[in-house]
Amino acid sequence: MAMLAPILQLKTLTNKSLILFDLLNIDNLNDFINKYGYDIPRISILFLAIISLSLFVFYRFISLNHELKQNYYEKYKERESTKKEYHLYFLFIGYAIIISELIFEIMSLRSKTVLVSNLLIGVTITLFYYLFKKFSFLYNKIYYIFIGLFLVYFSYVSYHIVTLKDTVIPSIGFLIFLFFSYNVIKPVRFYYCFIGATVLFLISIFAFQIIPIKAAIILINFSIIIIVINQIRHIILMNVKDKLRFTNEIVQKGNSLIVACNKRGECLYCSDSIETILGYTPEEVMGMEYWRLTEDAEFVGQKYFEEHDEDKLYTRKLKCKNGDYKYIQWKDKRLETDLIIGVGQDITEQYIIRDQFQNLIQTASDLIFEMDNKGHFTFVNNFALKTLNYRESDVIGKHYTFYISKKYQNIAADFYENLENIQLDFPIIELPLLKKNGQEVWVSQKVIVRKNEFGKIIGFSGIARDITTQKTAEQQKNLQLEKKIKYTEIIKRLTTTDFTIFKNANESIAYILNETAINNDICGTTYWSYKPEEIRCKLGCSKDPSFKIDLKAVIKRIDFPVYFEAIENKTQIIVSDVLSKYETSEFSHDYLDQTGVRSLIDSAVYVNGQLYGILCFESKTERKWDTDDAYFSKTIADIISLGIATHKRLKQQKKLKDKTRLLAAVAKCTENFLSNESVDDMFNLTFQTIGKASRADRMTYYEKDNEGLFVGRFLWTLEKGTETKVLETKFTEGECSEIIKNINNSSYFQAKTKDLDDSVLKKYYIQKNILCMVLLPIYENDHIKGFLGLSNCTSEKKLSKDQLLILQTLANNISNFLERTRNQQRVIESEQRFKLIVNNIPGTAYLSKFDQNASKVYLNDTIEALTGYSKEEFLKNKISFLDLIHPIQKAKIINQQMMSIRKGKSIHSKYQIKRKSGEYIWIEEYADVIKNDEIIEYVGGIYFELDKSQQFLSNINSSFESENLVKKFDTF
């Protein structure tokens, strides 16, 4: 019977289930009531209670589901979530117990009703739900209360398993409670304790057969299945929790800030990362506090919700709790009709870096820009706008060619087209950009190509540097180089010019000025001759027809003392503005307006170390002269100096040539003077030679006669040659007074006929067509004996001082020649008289050099009779007369004679000499010295043989006569 009890219970349950099935499928309630005999009022009340409670529970489910859907984004702590869960358990378990018991009661599923007790339990549990809502202190203890009530009710169900053996409801409730114990009992260690107690309970009822064995085995089997299922749920839940924990760590503690807001802007959720990012706790920013605390100035409330764009990224500047500000970049996602989830990234550092980079770009001293692939500007930094004087609106969207000079636009276009094939090393290009006012700004530009992931060009980024200064300097350098090359070519051409091909220095200077002016950008070049009291404009040249050069201009020292002092003390005066420079401050506006000069370089021209002239470079506009201009001017001045010096040298060479020719003629004449003793021949040769050498037209010689008149003795003309005749014209000393007066002062007379005083002499020169003349005195015994005259009839030629000195030498030589001729005549006469005397003297006359051997220069023929040696042997120094003196007497005699010479006395000695035959004879010697400029050159005297001399001396009156003879010989 015990074995059949469960079967009977199952059958009873099955029958009751059939009753419920019939109730649901009947057409007439009366038939059901008649069939089963139920109490209609009681069943109706219970049925209505079940329907009402079911509808209420269903409503609570719907409202709770809606509430959870609306607030699923609310953040709760794990413990708060557990409390809410347990709170709901109280509500629904209480209602479930009540409804179940009512159903059990209607169906009479229990043999013994426990409706009242179970309804009390269900109502009590439901009341706890409302008490927890009312009293927070109870709500805070809800976990412990629920676990306690759960364990009590589970014990109560377990008790019913033992006491109500005829029904399966307690067993089903036991299994249900066991299944949900995993969800209810937390933490898991408490669950394991509960499972252990449950296992002990099941083992006990099986071991002690408190309930039927089969029922115990079924209960144990189903319990094991439920425990295994819960363990599997635990394992799965742990994995899910790990994943959720990992996700939560990412969300709550990651670098992203997650905020959920409704359409009014109220903050409903905020991740824990806000504390590390902004310093606030999530609780502090709930509701509208988020916007108040972060001071988001761009918050617009519901308007943003209505205009939300999910693809848009935006950045907000938010205030931190410590007062700092951070930049958060947001990406929003709309999840519900009134909910937006915002994910923010802290980009403060990137923003600062970007801001720094932006500031760097905007404050950079380079032109930085970006263009799209069509060449339209999308960005230009402030420096570029400032450099080109544009506003940003003037540039953005415009094509780059709008800002490049036309002649460089094709170059720029080619440059940008070729960039597509370049990968890394982008080239640099130099271009002139146009400012707003049209001026050019040269830049050195480097451009890189921006491409998308498909390699297609999407734009260009470039940086350019203003190189206007460098470019200007380079252009200036090129201009300077061109100017230097031009100056160098001019200088080279001028320095290699042979100035000897020009007739005079003025032609050379004119050529230099012309070359300088035509091949240069100087308005005018002029040359001024210098004198201490004034400078005069001599030559000038200009390729500018409007530039006037006054060749008659004169600047006097008395009017311009400062300028004269400056040019005399400086090699150059460089003036960019003549009115602002001290050296040129004396030039008046009238003078400058007349000449048109505003800038100048004046370079002194020195010849032989003396200021000779001034080279002037002049400009009609204010011009800043540089060192190249100054150097060029100085070089041209030196070249002019060279040209002048060349012509001076040529002139000197010509003079030297004339002088040399004249000197050669004088030398020839002098040689003629030495070899010629004829005055007529001398004058004939001299006139022909000197006349041609001096290029004179006439030469004359006037000589004073015994009456004191100057009479023409010789005349030479270029056409006829020399005439030796007495000219008809005679001049008295009075008529020649002008000539004699000048000769006494300067030893010569040179004049032009037109400058002579009116006199007979001037009329004579005019009559003879003589334009100029030179007269040189011929002296005799320091008195003017005559005049040597040279004259020109074709030009007023003026001889140089050197030529005059040479002619003076010629005149002196002529004077000496005439004097020598007269002296020679006298000597010849004296010699004739001397020979007549010497040949009649019984002694031997001699003339010896004053040397060690007393070398004989002259001996008469009696020497051979005296010594036995021929005259030639003594004259050729084959034998010395000193060697003939007796050896005993020789030294004494020589000493006595030298003593007499030193004392200035005549020599008188007696001694023996040895003849050629070996015989010694006594001789007596009378001699005296002959001096030249107080230097003894010769000794002259007479040897007498004493035997013969006694007879001769008896005929003369003592030794006085002998000394006179020596003196006569001396004169010879």
Residue that has been written with the tokens 């503690």 in this structure: 253
Please write the tens of the pLDDT for every residue from 238-253: 777 666 666 666 666 6
Q: What is the mean pLDDT of residues 708-713?
A: 79
For 364-466, CATH gives 3.30.450.20
- Contact 801/809 with Cβ under 8 angstroms? no
Convert the pLDDT of each residue in 41-53 to its tens digit: 555 665 666 676 6
Under DSSP, the state recorded for 905 is P
**H-only helix segments in 283-397:** 289-294, 302-306, 348-363, 382-388, 392-395
Cβ proximity of 252 and 271 under 8 Å: yes
Which string of DSSP letters, residue by residue, matches 93-109?
HHHHHHHHHHHHHHHT-
In the CATH scheme, what is the code of domain 676-824? 3.30.450.40
- The 10 Å Cβ neighbour count of residue 215 is 19
Measured between alpha carbons, how far is 415 from 749 in angstroms, rounded to an integer? 90
Q: Is the pLDDT of residue 948 over 60?
A: no
Q: What is the mean pLDDT of residues 462-491?
A: 83
Residue entry with tokens 């809606």: 66
Per-residue buried b or exposed e for 901-927, using 16+ beta carbons within 10 Å of the residue's own CB? beeeebbbbebbbbeeeeeeeebbbbb
The whole-number pLDDT of residue 81 equals: 55
What is the number of other CB atoms lying within 10 angstroms of the CB of residue 227? Answer: 17
Alpha helices in 542-626 (DSSP H): 561-569, 589-595
3-state helix, strand, coil in the chain (%, to 5): 55, 20, 25
Rounded mean pLDDT of the chain? 77
CA angle 958, 961, 967 (to 5 degrees): 145
Rounded (10°) CA dihedral 41, 46, 49, 55: -110
Query: Which one, of 157, 134, 53, lies nearest residue 87 by Cα?
Result: 134
DSSP letters, 857-884, are EEE-TTHHHHHSS-HHHHHTTSS-GGGG
pLDDT band at 922; cut points 50, 70, 90 = very high
Domain 254-351 in CATH 3.30.450.20? The answer is yes
Examine the pLDDT at 912 and tell me if it is beyond 90.
yes
Q: Express each pLDDT in 215-238 by its tens digit.
A: 888 888 888 888 888 888 788 777
Tokens of residue 577, six digits: 């503005």
Q: Please give the helix or strand (H or E) that residue 849 lies within, else none.
A: strand 844-849
Would you state the structure tokens that stand for residue 129, as one six-digit string? 């739900």
Least confident of 195-209, 406-420, 866-880: 406-420
Q: Which is nearest to 299 in space by CA: 337, 340, 269, 238?
A: 340
pLDDT at 591 over 70: no
Determine which of 140-144, 223-227, 607-611 has the lowest per-residue pLDDT on average: 140-144
Is 216 in contact with 224 (CB distance < 8 Å)?
Answer: no
Q: What's the CA gap between 411 and 425, in Å, rounded?
A: 19
Q: CA 509 to CA 511: how far, in whole Å?
A: 5
Alpha helical stretches, state H, 734-800: 737-746, 760-767
Q: Which of 42, 148, 73 is nearest to 342 (CA)?
A: 73
Token pair for 605: 């021209």
Question: Strands 325-336, 313-319: parallel, antiparallel or unpaired by DSSP?
Answer: antiparallel
Mean pLDDT of 96-124: 72
Higher local confidence (pLDDT), 673 or 950: 673
Query: And the tokens for 91?
Result: 């509500």
Residue 125: CB atoms within 10 A of its CB come to 23
If pLDDT is split at 50, 70 and 90, which confidence band does 75 have? very low
pLDDT at 84 over 80: no
CB-based contacts of 639, cutoff 8 Å, min separation 6: 491, 494, 495, 512
* Predicted pLDDT at 886: 92
Measured between alpha carbons, how far is 95 from 128 in angstroms, rounded to an integer? 12
Distance separating alpha carbons of residues 929 and 927, to the nearest angstrom: 7
Express each pLDDT in 544-562 by its tens digit.
777 778 788 888 888 888 8
Better-predicted residue by pLDDT, 635 or 590: 635
Cα–Cα dist 265/279, whole Å: 21
Amino acid at position 412, single letter:
A
Based on DSSP, count helices (H) and strands (E) in the chain, helices before strands.
31, 28
Max distance between CA atoms of the chain, in angstroms, equals 242
With a cut of 90, say whether residue 933 has pLDDT above it: no
Q: Over 50: is that where the pLDDT of 4 sits?
A: no
**More reliable by pLDDT, 27 or 527:** 527
SS3 768: coil
Number of residues written out for the chain: 972
H-type alpha helices, 71-135? 78-107, 115-134
| % of the chain beyond a pLDDT of 70 | 79
Fold of 841-971: Beta-Lactamase (3.30.450)
402 within 8 A of 395, measured Cβ to Cβ: no
Instruction: Decide: 711 and 687 in contact? Cβ < 8 Å.
Output: no
SS3 assignment, position 141: coil
What pLDDT band is residue 971 in, cutting at 50, 70 and 90?
A: very low
Q: Is 583 helix (H, G, I), strand (E, B) or coil?
A: helix
Summarize pLDDT for 381-398 with one digit per residue, the tens: 888 888 888 888 888 988
User: Using 50, 70 and 90 to split pLDDT, how confident is the model at 666?
Assistant: confident
Residues 813-842: b if buried by 16+ CB within 10 A, e if exposed: bbbebbeebeeeeeeeeeeeebeeebeebb
Q: Please, which residues have CB within 8 angstroms of residue 909's CB and are 6 or more apart in sequence?
A: 893, 896, 897, 924, 925
3-state secondary structure of 453: coil
Q: What is the mean pLDDT of the segment spanning 703-713?
A: 80
Strand 554-556 vs strand 710-717: parallel, antiparallel, or unpaired?
Answer: unpaired
Asked whether the beta carbons of 392 and 436 are under 8 A apart, the reply is no
Cβ atoms of 405 and 430 closer than 8 Å? no
CATH 3.40.50.300 fits 479-646, yes or no: no
Helices 29-36 and 5-25, packing angle to 10 deg: 160
pLDDT digit string, tens, across residues 727-755: 567 778 777 877 877 777 667 888 888 88
What are the structure tokens assigned to 892, written together?
Answer: 């004494």
- Choice among 206-210, 625-629, 807-811, 944-948 with the minimum mean pLDDT: 944-948
In single-letter form, the type of residue at position 606 comes to: Y
Is the confidence at residue 770, as pLDDT, over 60? yes
Domain boundaries, the chain: 5-249, 254-351, 364-466, 479-646, 676-824, 841-971
Q: Which two tokens stand for residue 309?
A: 């764009």
Give 821 or 9, the one with higher predicted confidence: 821
Q: Is the pLDDT of residue 802 over 50?
A: yes
Least confident range from 76-80, 328-332, 479-483, 659-663: namely 76-80
Instruction: Taking residues 291-303, report their average pLDDT.
Output: 76
In order of 275, 616, 935, the CA distances from 938 in angstroms are: 143, 72, 9
Q: Are 554 and 640 in contact (CB under 8 A)?
A: no
In one-letter notation, the amino acid at residue 159 is Y
pLDDT tens, 353-376? Answer: 777 777 777 777 788 888 888 889
366, 371, 394, 430, 463 from 400: Cα distances, Å: 17, 8, 12, 14, 14
Taken in order 952, 954, 958, 961, the sign of the CA dihedral is negative
> Does the pLDDT of residue 963 top 70, yes or no?
no
- Rounded CA gap, 839 and 631, in Å? 88
Q: What is the mean pLDDT of residues 924-944?
A: 85
906 contacts: CB under 8 Å, gap ≥ 6: 900, 926, 927, 928, 963, 966
Give the DSSP letter of residue 921: E
Residue 662: both structure tokens together: 């004249």
Cα angle: 623, vertex 627, 630; to 5 degrees: 75
Q: What percent of the chain has pLDDT over 90?
A: 3
pLDDT for residue 66: 52
- The reply to whether 676-824 shares the fold of 364-466 is yes
Among residues 363, 286, 369, the alpha carbon closest in space to that of 73 is found at 286
* Strand residues in 206-255 grouped as ranges (E): none
